[in-house]
Amino acid sequence: MRLFNRLRFRTKINIGLTLIVGFTSLIIALFVIRMASDALIEQSRKRGQVLAGNLALRAEDPLLSVDLLRLESMVNELKKADDEIVYAFIMDDKLRVIANTFGEGFPVNLKYVNSDNGTAINEVTVDTGKERIFDFAAPIFISDKRLGTVRVGLSRVGIQSIVSNLIYAICALTGAVLLLAVVASTHFARSMTIQLGALQKHAEDIVATYLGPGLTKDEKPKSCADRFIGFLRQTKRGDEVQELTETFDAMAMSLECHIEDLQITEMDLTRQKELLKTIINVSPDFVSLLGPQLTYLAVNQPLYNYLGSTEEKIIGKTDKEFFPPEIAKVRMDEARQVLETGRTINKEHRDDYDKDSPARWFHTIRVPVYAESKKIIGVLSTARDITELKSYQAQLIQSQKMESVGKLAGGVAHEINTPLGIILGYAQLLQDDFDADDQVAKDLAIIEKQARVCRKIVADLLGFSRQTESEKMPMCFNNSILEVVQLVSHTLKLEHVDISTELDDRFPIIHGAPEKLKQVWLNLLSNAMEAIEGKGGIHITTKLDTYSMTITAVFADTGHGIEPKNINTIFDPFYSTKPVGKGTGLGLSVSFGIIKDHGGSIEALSPLPKCMLREYGLPENSGPGTMFKVVLPLDEISDEEDSSPYSI
């Protein structure tokens, strides 16, 4: 059966028609041959009976007259007259053969094989071994007296020969009909297969996305509507296959039109999808859609970047795949809660997902997504990074706190300043009472000196507390640095830190708040000193750039440097690498604010380039070091005019 299925359609038709014609011919031939042979045999039998009967009639007179010669000639004439007559003989009433065609040797047994005593002509088939013979025995009766019997043998060879010829003729005819049928069927099948081939070609064109008929690959495609109109004008009348082909073509063209519509719609949809995706992806917020099974149905680019994966890898998975178990549990519980209750979750939380990165704050909103059946089918989550906002919040709080502390310190310093002045005054007065070489005078000088130090500290405190009140004025940039260096030099020595300066000797004058700037320098030096654990050096360089009208101060140290991951966060408020109680983390943040207030910029570089170590004469075997570069404009630039972004 598989073999038959694999055959060509044309071959199948040929085989089918051949079988039908062959089978029909065979049946007809069998029946015709049988009927014809029966009829022939019957005819032959009747002929034999007639011959025998005639001979019997004709033999009556010679038999009566015992005219053996006539009888002999009658049987011989009969035999000569017909080739099919094998023998003929006449017997008298005593079964004595009185005339025969055998010549002298008469077959003895033949006499008795057909000896019916009835009045009718009896018939048997004699099988001689070589052939079969119809033997007819016609009694010669006159009145009721039997005179004898006429026996005639009719060969069946002739009949068989006629039957054989008939079989040959029928076979030849069948063959001819079969041949004609095959030729006709081949022609028919060919016309069919040509149409089917056209149908197949059109189908192949459809597969090759050439829809519709009559469009070769070289032809310039027309619009679908034009081709459809052209096709309808070209429709031909034909048989069912032709109609099928045309219906197929019409279907293909209709399909093409639909596909064109679909393509246009798809393009629209794709554009809209791209637009939507772009909108979602360009949103800085983390947007995601969770399904009922808490699997991700959609994520936007910021989120999958944050998770360090791709959209394809995230879709279909849950939070368990991307978050530590406890975080994942929290997130999934929240999502489940939204799914079950339909209540929106709106919260701020700190995310410690990436331990290597600074902690980030997020404002997360989870809202249920409803289907048309009012059933919750998902959870839309948006998480906005509010780390900066939180930092400003903290900075604001700290500022408020510092302001309070400043006011308190200012009040305390003001109160301490008076007793210190009195202590200083009395110490100076007492020195006058003693000789300069006197030990008392020396002690008093120490008291005076330390009292001055205290007053200086108090003055600084007062200056810090009055920072909001400080006003910008023309000031010497180098002097402000030198004052601070001088202030901290003693402390630096105690910490075995060498400090060197290389200040621009053109003494650039800037418009600034000296106290605030000194606070910046103090912060930078303080940080540098703390970074140098053990022996190290600090080098301060100032350089005037008349071209850009800026003054640059570079603070380079040989301290432990700043981790690369922290380099961008050191200016954040409250960021500190110091242990708890050792620092507030406000120093660089405040410094940044002051420099920005002066229209300048401050940036950090760590580790310190080796060339700079050599250039500044710093010990090369020390830590990686840090360099802070502060650039300030020479002329005052108002805050309104300063719209350039800070560069960190």
Partner 1 sequence: MLRLKYTLPVALLLVGVAVFFFGGTHDEKIVRVDMSVQEELIVPEPEPALTYAYLPQYSHKVSYLRHSRLIDYLAKETGLRIRQVFPDTFEEHRNMVDRGEIDISFSNPMTYIRIANSGAKAFARIIEPSGSPTFRGQIITRKDNRSIRNLKDCIGKSWIAVDPLSAGGYLYPLGLFYENGITTSDFREISFAPGPGGKQEKAVLAVYAGKYDIASIREGTLEIVKDKININKIRIIAETKPYPGWVYAARKGLDPEVIQKISNAMFKMSMDDPKQARILSQAGMRGIIPARDNDYDSVRELSKELGLSTLYNKQGGTE
CA–CA separation, 405 and 175 (whole Å): 125
CA–CA separation, 258 and 295 (whole Å): 36
- Among the listed ranges 58-66, 236-244, 262-270, 393-401, the one in contact with partner 1 (CB under 8 A) is 58-66
- Among the listed ranges 105-113, 207-215, 326-334, 538-546, the one in contact with partner 1 (CB under 8 A) is 105-113
Q: Provide the minimum distance between the beta carbon of 74 and partner 1 in the complex, in angstroms, as a whole number.
A: 14
Among 10, 22, 77, 132, binds partner 1 (CB under 8 A): 132
Q: Provide the minimum distance between the beta carbon of 220 and partner 1 in the complex, in angstroms, as a whole number.
A: 53
Q: How many CA atoms lie within 13 A of 315 on its CB side?
A: 8
CB closer to partner 1, 96 vs 506 = 96
CA 212, 214, 217, 218 torsion: positive or negative? negative
CB closer to partner 1, 30 vs 473 = 30
Among 15, 124, 167, 315, binds partner 1 (CB under 8 A): 124
CA 620, 621, 624, 627 torsion: positive or negative? negative
Is 66 near partner 1 (CB under 8 A)? yes
- Among the listed ranges 27-35, 194-202, 260-268, 428-436, the one in contact with partner 1 (CB under 8 A) is 27-35
Is 393 near partner 1 (CB under 8 A)? no
CA–CA separation, 85 and 625 (whole Å): 143
**Phi, psi of 34, deg, nearest 5:** -65, -45
Measured at the CA of 475, the angle between CA 473 and CA 479, to 5 degrees, comes to 150
Residue 524 to residues 508, 516, 538, 584, 592, Cα–Cα distance (Å)? 20, 13, 10, 14, 11
- DSSP labels for 5-63? HHS-HHHHHHHHHHHHHHHHHHHHHHHHHHHHHHHHHHHHHHHHHHHHHHHHHHHHHHH
Among 14, 44, 49, 100, binds partner 1 (CB under 8 A): 100
Residue 263 to residues 220, 361, 482, Cα–Cα distance (Å)? 19, 45, 75
Closest CA to 478 of 526, 527, 517: 517
Q: List the structure tokens of 143.
A: 């009145």
CB closer to partner 1, 34 vs 343 = 34
Q: Provide the minimum distance between the beta carbon of 172 and partner 1 in the complex, in angstroms, as a whole number.
A: 22
Q: Provide the minimum distance between the beta carbon of 214 and partner 1 in the complex, in angstroms, as a whole number.
A: 42
Q: List the structure tokens of 453.
A: 């130090």
Q: Provide the minimum distance between the beta carbon of 128 and partner 1 in the complex, in angstroms, as a whole number.
A: 5
Is 102 near partner 1 (CB under 8 A)? yes
Among 51, 52, 75, 110, binds partner 1 (CB under 8 A): 110
Among 3, 81, 108, 611, binds partner 1 (CB under 8 A): 108
CA–CA separation, 628 and 642 (whole Å): 22
Q: Provide the minimum distance between the beta carbon of 67 and partner 1 in the complex, in angstroms, as a whole number.
A: 8
Is 326 near partner 1 (CB under 8 A)? no
Is 143 near partner 1 (CB under 8 A)? yes
Q: Which own/partner pairs from 348-353 qualify as long-range (CB within 8 Å, at least 24 positions apart)?
A: 348/386, 348/390, 351/327, 352/327, 353/306, 353/323, 353/324, 353/327
End-to-end Cα, the chain, rounded Å: 83
CA–CA separation, 560 and 625 (whole Å): 6
- Among the listed ranges 64-72, 218-226, 500-508, 530-538, the one in contact with partner 1 (CB under 8 A) is 64-72
CA 387, 392, 394, 395 torsion: positive or negative? positive
Among 8, 19, 38, 190, binds partner 1 (CB under 8 A): 38
Among 9, 31, 370, 646, binds partner 1 (CB under 8 A): 31
Q: Which helix (H) or strand (E) is 1 found in, with range? A: none
Is 41 near partner 1 (CB under 8 A)? yes
Q: Could you tell me if 59 and 148 are in contact, meaning their C-beta atoms sit under 8 angstroms apart?
A: yes
Is 104 near partner 1 (CB under 8 A)? yes
CB closer to partner 1, 114 vs 550 = 114
Is 64 near partner 1 (CB under 8 A)? yes
Among 126, 294, 513, 520, binds partner 1 (CB under 8 A): 126
CB closer to partner 1, 64 vs 225 = 64
CB closer to partner 1, 28 vs 605 = 28
CB closer to partner 1, 22 vs 607 = 22
Among 9, 11, 20, 34, binds partner 1 (CB under 8 A): 34
CA–CA separation, 494 and 501 (whole Å): 18
Is 127 near partner 1 (CB under 8 A)? yes
- DSSP labels for 524-585? HHHHHHHH--SSEEEEEEEEEETTTTEEEEEEEE-S----GGGTTTTTSTT---SPTTT--S
Is 20 near partner 1 (CB under 8 A)? no
CB closer to partner 1, 29 vs 520 = 29
Among 106, 370, 507, 646, binds partner 1 (CB under 8 A): 106
Size of the site for partner 1 (CB under 8 A): 42
Is 120 near partner 1 (CB under 8 A)? no
Q: Provide the minimum distance between the beta carbon of 77 and partner 1 in the complex, in angstroms, as a whole number.
A: 17
Is 105 near partner 1 (CB under 8 A)? yes
Is 39 near partner 1 (CB under 8 A)? no
Which residues of this chain interact with partner 1, rule CB under 8 A?
A: 27, 30-31, 34, 38, 41-42, 60-61, 64-68, 92, 94, 96-98, 100, 102, 104-110, 113-114, 123-129, 132, 135, 142-143, 145
